[in-house]
Structure 1
Amino acid sequence: MLKDESMKKLWNLGYKAVEAAGFELIDMEFVKESGNWYLRYYIDKPGGITIDDCQTVSVEVGRLLDIADLIPCSYILEVSSPGLERPIKTDKDFLRYIGSFVEIKTFEKIGDKKVFTGILEDYSNNTVTVKNGECYLIPKEKISSAKLKFKWDGDRK
């Protein structure tokens, strides 16, 4: 619905508001679900995000969106934590989460697999190393999605 230029403006607007509040902008999406458009900003900080943090950012982003008037239709603004299984997108993210349990999906098979779960062992030269018994070297350009993967320690009742 929105052109790349408008999406970049929405990202920059959110980035400024989120950084000014002392948080990090992790991701942004503008999607249609059940007949409604949603503009979602995912934010984070060391120690995690609270509801009050989301409210603070939502008020400021909402104010800036009203001024900029970039979206030509009605939409719902949401500001949220990226959650336990947050996406890993940037070089900084891959480096930050070395040693973490991850799930990497690729556009095409590498060996006989398209989904790799295990410990993120390394990230260098645009190649991700995931270890789960075997070591898998995955070129970043072949990654369709990457996220932290929460590992359950047995049943919780």
Structure 2
Amino acid sequence: MATPRPRRTRAAHPCPDCDVLTPNQRMVLDAMTRAGKPIGAYGVIAELTAGGRRVMPPTVYRALDGLTRQKLVHRLESLNAYIVCSGHDHAHDSLFVICEQCGHAEEFADHESIARLTAQANALGFEIDSRMIELRGRCADCRRKQ
């Protein structure tokens, strides 16, 4: 007898092009949304087990991989963490500001800067595979507290 495929649900996300989500992807995306800040795979596991679920790392990593492919989450390389995409009004050429003190991160789009950087890379004969820029510093809240 064939194993039934997991039921999929539509993402409750403003992206009209995103695929449907497996139950595990939905569970991980919901946990990340509740966290409200960049979170690693083990942070997702802690969030889910606090809610009474038993979740294994491979399950979370597979869900994160699928969510990243669908561009619903971004991987912040410098933090080794993931963040929910802030919206789909950009071409996923992501720019982030990340606070070194509190860990807060914000995504924004700057199409002109991306175009200039791409043109410079192309002039050097460089083919870009992905575009993500992370700017690190201190957020306004942390600067005010000093």
TM range (shorter): under 0.3
With normalisation by structure 2, the TM-score equals 0.28
With normalisation by structure 1, the TM-score equals 0.27
Q: Which structure has greater strand proportion?
A: 1
Q: Which structure has greater helix proportion?
A: 2
